[in-house]
Amino acid sequence: MVQQDQDKVLADTERVVGRQALRNNVAAAVALADAVRSTLGPKGLDKLLVGSDGSSLVTNDGVTVLETAKVEHPTAKMLISTSRAQDDEVRDGTTTTVVLTAELLVNALELVDRGVHPTMIASGYRMCGPVIEQTLDEISIPTDDSASLSSVKTSLAGKGDVGLQIILSELAHAAASTTGSGETEHVRVLTERSGSIKDSKLVPGIVLIKARVHREMEMKPNAGRILILDGGMEKRKPEIEASLKITSLGAIDAFHTRDSADLQARVDALKAANIDCLVARDGIEEEAHAMLATAGILAYRRVERPEIEHLCRATGARPIFDVEDIQDEDVGHFTSIREEKWQGVEHTIFEGSQTQGVTVVIRGSTAMRLEEAQRAFDDALGVACQLIREPQLLPGGGATQIALARRLRRHAETIPGREQMAIEGFAAALESIPRILAENAGLNPIDELLRITAAQAENDSAWQGLDVNTGQASDMGKAAITEPLSVTRHAIAGATEAAISVLRIDDVLWAKQDAQEPDWQTDEG
């Protein structure tokens, strides 16, 4: 009975094994890479993405294209996950990761057809890791403020017009430099559908789309103490459900009087702690508004949790649950609080005592323009923060990939086994990046690849790369075409692991129905 059930499950399962499984997986990876290949580089083209609801989006951001596409193949989903990990970690190099993974798999399939076992190929690919790390450390250079800004501008090449690239890269660089933490979470981004992109600005503080709860409350132009309440300041409710029978006419007034006294006690506790501003995640009772204004306390209510986290970073405050349990270490400090009206809407600007809190206001005339600008800014900010954490630069224009390929080919000559062929295949995969850059710029990819390789050998410099604006091989440092070391390192490492994971798959089972637990009924006489 058990054997019959197992046979039935296998009979309802489509199975692809061996070389054919690898071919199918490689085909899926290549199809995915082809979808974003033309977006690579400053001369890359855009994609028009149309949703099922008829909405449209124009972008050349690789991870946006991949996440929007409807993908069913498991290998393609694996590559999209790798691209998403690259985007989450360093905010750039997503297209490079997918293209490089596909090239590694194509070269691996050629070796398999020539009789090299996938395990040997995977071993050869892993041997490339230490060589790549050593080479990247050798050719990278430390960055300064000007070079960092140039690298951020390079990351936006091909995304929007030149004016947008300059404005957003300068804003991202300034925001990252102001916080100095290398964390994108320390920068709050607001989009305003008004004006043009050139009206975007950096505000040294946290901007909330909020107005104070009572107009009689005075603003705080000078330094003060701020308390953040992870809750509300409302009348207390019974912890259990109960019904009360009122027998005296004064009982209701007594309840109201006691509630008012309780609110006043909490306001007095705030005043005793020298609190100048109260920010609550939930509501603040209407009756307490006048009490807080009389006590000289500025108050804001119904502030979302992400905004509270930004305020905590900017002021050094720690959220508490009860105003009657205030500890001095929970209190934050601000330098000023002011309100401004933008397009008829009140905005409050908190300038904190810490530098870990700034707001970038991005403006645009249309919703599509704002979406494009915000995606571009997020990428630029990610690169700028990466350079804060690891201030090392590599040459762009395909120079790094060609330098790595040259080094790997020399290293392959020292490997006696079949891994040598895998290392050469890895080098060839790296050369696909400058080839695609040239192709997307309308240049001959083979001629440009040979030209850059010759230029690096002739000048004995790994910084010779392709300047797609001139179509010539030139020094990427002088041309200010650079990229962060962390972006390239993460892209190569992610592509390598993804390719090896696919190579190790030799059996794909497509179940037409879920495997079910066998029925163990027996005949008992």
Beta partners for 48? 58
CA distance 426 to 104: 6
CA distance 206 to 313: 10
CA distance 167 to 377: 9
CA distance 517 to 6: 10
Single-letter amino acid code for the residue at 77: K
| Residues known to be catalytic | 61, 94-95, 379
Name the one residue in this structure whose structure tokens are 């908190």. 350
Nearest CA to 135 among 383, 436, 387, 411? 411
Nearest CA to 381 among 410, 358, 415, 397? 358
Name the one residue in this structure whose structure tokens are 């912890």. 239
Single-letter amino acid code for the residue at 300: Y
**Cβ atoms within 10 Å of 119's Cβ, excluding its own:** 11
CA distance 189 to 196: 16
Extended beta strands in 375-501, E state? 392-395, 464-467, 472-475, 482-484
Query: Dihedral through CA 380, CA 386, CA 389, CA 394, nearest 10?
Result: -120
Q: What is the 3-state secondary structure (H, E, C) of 444-472?
A: CHHHHHHHHHHHHHHHCCCCEEEECCCCE
Q: How far is CA 513 from CA 10, 72, 206, in A?
A: 10, 17, 53
